[in-house]
Amino acid sequence: DVKVTQSSRYLVKRTGEKVFLECVQDMDHENMFWYRQDPGLGLRLIYFSYDVKMKEKGDIPEGYSVSREKKERFSLILESASTNQTSMYLCASSLGGVLNTEAFFGQGTRLTVV
Amino acid sequence: AQSVAQPEDQVNVAEGNPLTVKCTYSVSGNPYLFWYVQYPNRGLQFLLKYITGDNLVKGSYGFEAEFNKSQTSFHLKKPSALVSDSALYFCAVRDEGRDDKIIFGKGTRLHILP
């Protein structure tokens, strides 16, 4: 079975802290994604990576950065957490190239910034 | 840039009745279209996809969707709703002619009334 694992289900962090959200996939997928989910706004793409060390900004990259040093791992970094980054964060992966099809999602990390 | 719209925030259907959840899309090339479902406190689960071929695609849990190129729509349907179908449904699109980004709609909450 396809598996995308996010390191934490729930996190509480203080304003100004540096926060790392980790995601690992075991399917040898080229593409990995970070979305945030907010009521009424759906899923919004933060960053997308199509290969190791490669990244592209999504629709809402401000306040975030990412790291992909290995194919299976994609980290989302909040350099200085703020209360407006309180949200559900979802990681996903998909095959790339001509075989690119659906994305597979992790269980999500609910982050609260206080 | 690609985009997807789900015009209804919420849809209410009586158990046993047919259901439709609407989705329209905008891409510059050929679309890859997806439907996902999210149950409370869970990640997104893939339901079905349209890549090419037959306009009517069948997916998990008895759901199906019809691709209509002239109306740029991809509505999700089920002939007979179950109470257990109550959940949040997301439509998503990838533009074949561009990169591998997958963009989601805002979601539609489906309530099946007993």
Task: Give per-10-residue mean pLDDT for chain A (114 aa).
Answer: 88 97 94 94 94 92 97 97 97 80 91 98
**DSSP string computed for B62-95:** G-EEEEETTTTEEEEEESS--GGG-EEEEEEEEE
Hey, are the CB atoms on B42 and A41 less than 8 Å from each other? no
**Mean pLDDT, 10 residues at a time, chain B of 114 residues:** 92 97 93 93 90 92 96 97 96 82 94 96
Contacts of B101 in chain A (CB under 8 A): 33, 45, 48, 56, 58
In the numeric block, the tokens 């975030």 are attached to: A64
- pLDDT for A100 equals 63
Average pLDDT score over chain B: 93
Hey, are the CB atoms on A56 and B49 less than 8 Å from each other? no
Hey, are the CB atoms on A102 and B9 less than 8 Å from each other? no
Contact A6, A20 (CB under 8 A): no
Contacts of B99 in chain A (CB under 8 A): 48, 50, 56
- pLDDT for A114 equals 97
Hey, are the CB atoms on B44 and A105 less than 8 Å from each other? yes
Q: Which residue of A has its CA nearest to B43?
A: A107
Name every residue whose Cβ is closer than 8 Å to that of residue A38 and which is 6 or more positions away in sequence.
Answer: A44, A87, A88
Residue of A41, A96, A107 lying closest to B100 (CB–CB): A96
Determine how many CB atoms are found less than 10 A away from the CB of residue B19. Answer: 20
Per-residue pLDDT tens over the stretch B66-95: 999 999 999 999 999 999 999 999 999 988
Contacts of B42 in chain A (CB under 8 A): 107-108
Contacts of B102 in chain A (CB under 8 A): 33, 45, 92, 94, 103
User: How far is CA B8 from each of CA A58, B22, B110, rounded to the nearest angstrom?
Assistant: 25, 7, 10
